[in-house]
Amino acid sequence: MSAACALAEAGWRVQLVERRGYLGGRASSYLHPGVNEVIDNCQHVLFGCCTNLIGFYRRIGALDRIHWSSGMTMIEPGSGRRSPLGPSKLGPFTLPAPLHGLPKLLGAKAFTIGDKLALARAFRAFLRPVPAGSAEDLAAWLARHGQTQGAMERFWRLVIASALNANLDAIALPYAAKVVRELFMNSAEAGRMGISTVPLSELYAGAEAFLRARGSEVVFNAGVEAAEWDEAASQWMIATRAEPLHADFLVLALPFEATAKLLPRMPPAEGAEVLSSQLARHEHWPICSVHLWFDREITDLDHAVLLDRELHWMYNKSRLQPWRGTRGCYLELLVSASRTFAALPREQAIATAVNELAEFFPEAARAKLVKAALVKEVRATFGVPPGIDAARPSAVSPWTNCFLAGDWTATGWPSTMESAARSGHLAAEAVCGAAGAAGRFLESDLKPRGLMKLVKQESSAADHRKFPRS
């Protein structure tokens, strides 16, 4: 979507081919027949540092449908004790980065003094750039930097590992450093969290309107089945489930496993085997979400981080999406990076979620559960273990006038909507480069503020792009 809209705005005529009847891919919504409610396939969030996703939302007129918040609340089971985290102010001014989050971290009751000292050591170490080619995983790095059990369980495993949706020993250190810097150190603005106030497919409906208003179109229910390059016509002939299409340029914006399945139905090309081997190195990690409707209000919080249990995050959709007019309360609960939870039967997963929820919010034990839904997104994200960058290709593919997009391509970001939007903008730039046309769509990174302006930053993979020109 980001590639299509960027090119359409630049004057190109684009056909966006979608295999389903609605937009969004893994970030979409649908009418769940079991509960007769429109739900997201998984709760997706963005942050202030997601400049390309924000730029895409701005382009399609969706920014006013994002609810922003500057803090998060950690809750302990049993006691329900809360520890708010987020930026602090000195009078009317937010403390300068990276000090803006320090007062609330030091005051957080969820951490012992030893935990706080350990976290301070780690944050200080992350002031130094992490080599992009580091082969160290996050678990080994944390062991070297003396992290306490509380810091490990309540921050690194819960906040950072769930943000990257993988176990600590399966996370490359540079990606962990990027998350820590962007969300907690570079600026208060970078760490702001945004949540859609409408179902995700409705959020992305603006992309279809944007394209149609510029002479482009969306072709629904028409997944790509094969593609052939016509040398004489200098065009791609694309077979879809609906009808054949012809195009001067082709952007394959598919998940890595769908790209791998398509390769045998692409023309022979030097470099195709290398791409195939890169795709084979990627691995999926699941995210599960439990949707619960109660007959009464359970909590006054919009969202929360749930400590020491199988559940990780709570999103109060009744408050975040008041247009629903929900009677009682509608909560979405997330479990990240847990293949064990993903393997549970539906009834057991829902029962686990309800029982654990009551440990954080006692009203849940007294409330009546009206209905529930379980969504298992087994292909939610790709993993980012050490060495994965070698398996992330650039936007330039082995084929003439064919380019790659997707969160798994070389964007410098982990598996996020921001990485997907960046990949689309990079692919759109590559198309323009191949056509000898002007086109620069990649949004600049949010600049560090306060004292972080004095700290050396890691370079992004997008800073080193090289695109062919005809």
Q: Which of 323, 326, 304, 285 is nearest to 196 (CA)?
A: 323
pLDDT at 459: 59
Q: Residue written as tokens 């057991």?
A: 348
How many of the other CB atoms lie within 10 Å of CB of 358?
16
How many of the other CB atoms lie within 10 Å of CB of 311?
25
Q: How many helices (H) and strands (E) does the chain have?
A: 17, 21
Q: What percent of the chain has pLDDT over 90?
A: 93
Q: pTM of the full predicted structure?
A: 0.95
Q: What is the DSSP track for 74-96? A: EE-TTT--EEEES--EETTEEPP
Task: Specify whether the CB–CB gap between 66 and 46 falls below 8 A.
Answer: yes
The domain made up of 284-382 has a fold known as Polyamine Oxidase; Chain A, domain 2 (3.90.660)
As beta bridge partners, residue 251 has: 403
CA–CA distance, 253 with 259 (Å, rounded to integer): 8
Q: Is the pLDDT of residue 357 over 70?
A: yes
| Residues with Cβ within 8 Å of residue 355, at least 6 apart in sequence | none
The CATH 3.50.50.60 portion of the chain extends over 2-47+197-283+386-464
CA–CA distance, 381 with 20 (Å, rounded to integer): 19
pLDDT at 469: 40
Helices 205-212 and 2-9 sit at what angle, rounded to 10 degrees? 30
At residue 464 the predicted structure's pLDDT band, cuts being 50, 70 and 90, is very low
Distances (CA, A) of 165 to 94, 214, 280, 335, 342: 30, 37, 19, 9, 13
CA–CA distance, 175 with 385 (Å, rounded to integer): 9
Distances (CA, A) of 291 to 156, 318, 335, 367: 26, 12, 12, 15
Select the CATH number that applies to the domain covering 2-47+197-283+386-464 from these four: 3.50.50.60, 3.40.50.1100, 3.30.420.40, 3.30.1330.10.
3.50.50.60
Query: Sheet containing 329-336: which strands, arranged edge to edge?
Result: 82-85, 72-75, 303-306, 313-316, 329-336, 284-294, 369-382
| Residues with Cβ within 8 Å of residue 72, at least 6 apart in sequence | 84, 85, 86, 193, 303, 304, 305
CA–CA distance, 308 with 93 (Å, rounded to integer): 34
Q: What is the pLDDT of residues 257-298, one digit of tens each?
A: 999 999 999 999 999 999 999 999 999 999 999 999 999 999
Task: Specify whether the CB–CB gap between 328 and 294 falls below 8 A.
Answer: yes
Q: What is the pLDDT of residues 118-166, one digit of tens each?
A: 999 999 999 999 998 899 999 999 999 999 999 999 999 998 988 899 9
Q: Say which range, 98-107, 208-217, 451-460, has the weakest mean pLDDT.
A: 451-460
Q: What is the pLDDT of residues 365-375, one digit of tens each?
A: 999 999 999 99
Average pLDDT over residues 173-198: 96
